[in-house]
Structure 1
């Protein structure tokens, strides 16, 4: 089977973060001109061109290399914890995306990539019901992970299952994370 090239699907991170679920209103989660592969567009064309399938498959919004590491990026502007359906959809997008990458590249990307879920903090506030600062200080003293870095929304399971690292970042945190890093659309 011939490989579908990614070059026709290069877009900006800003464009891939567009939440157009409110009809004609566009709300971007990040204002970044970094070039990425619009994986939603790629997956639709992939199924149509290579398999003559017109059905829509749910995949992550973008893929790219950041400082040489492959990242799958999903943007969620709505509430996540309120709906089990949303968590199931994220899980499905991850699985579908890894499968399409594997088919197109004839290469396994499990444990050879990382995942970023960029979420809306206002709609998904962090729980501060306990003294997070004191707990973080104690864990840092013990050499444990920083609590802020632990994936939210039950996504930690994917770190051991599919990815090297899973990040759940707000728009601001994602902007800080990518600042000064080198992006590539070569998979």
Structure 2
């Protein structure tokens, strides 16, 4: 990458060498190569850290079986906020998938805090979690989100800096500054308008 993850004039933290080593883009980290043809859930060239790669190297350092470890796909750092981003091309409402996402959240935050020397207080002040899902493959969840009842809930929630989340994910709000469950179109809109952290 041409620019550092955090500009010199204001840094939230010292960026670990392991983060600097695994520069990537939102597009590359959003790749689902288990499908044919392969699918990118984002076309953005926004610079991020490939957090899966960070996890692989981190786990090897501690002699763990990396196959057992889970992590979010991307880590985005700017001067005032940080986001752990997980891209899910498949069903997000399946109980097994939800459990995988939950373990990714916990393990990613533990790795992040260990490498940066930060703690949960820092995470609540600066770190966001964003789950980006495939709208077409989660039509039932999408329908629930846009129902008239949930539109009303979202209006109220927006005033409370909250949003409609995947069932069971409100629990993670105590760990992060903000938690979002959004589809790939909404994510594109946030990225294109520089509003990922809004």
- Which TM class, normalised by the smaller chain length? 0.7 to 0.9
Alignment of 1:9-88 (within 5 A): 9-22=22-35, 25-48=37-60, 50-56=61-67, 57-66=69-78, 68-81=80-93, 83-88=94-99
Aligned residues: 173
Equivalent-residue separation in structure 1 for 2:186 and 2:146 (angstroms): 22
Q: Which runs of 5+ in 2 are unaligned?
A: 1-15
Q: Which has the higher helix share?
A: 2
* Structure exhibiting the larger radius of gyration computed from Cα positions: 1
Specify which of 104, 107, 110 is matched with residue 118 of structure 2: 107
Over the aligned positions, Cα root-mean-square deviation in angstroms equals 2.8
Q: Runs of 4+ in structure 1 displaced over 3 angstroms?
A: 128-131, 134-140
Higher relative contact order (CA 8 A, sep 6+): 1
Equivalent-residue separation in structure 2 for 1:135 and 1:75 (angstroms): 23
Deviation at 1:52, TM superposition (A): 3.3
Pair 1:117-2:128 in alignment: no
What TM-score, normalized by structure 1, do the two folds share? 0.81
Q: Which has the higher strand share?
A: 1
Q: Which runs of 5+ in 1 are unaligned?
A: none
SS at match of 1:75: strand
Q: Rate the CA distance shift 1:100–1:128 in 2: closer, same or farther, 3 A.
A: closer
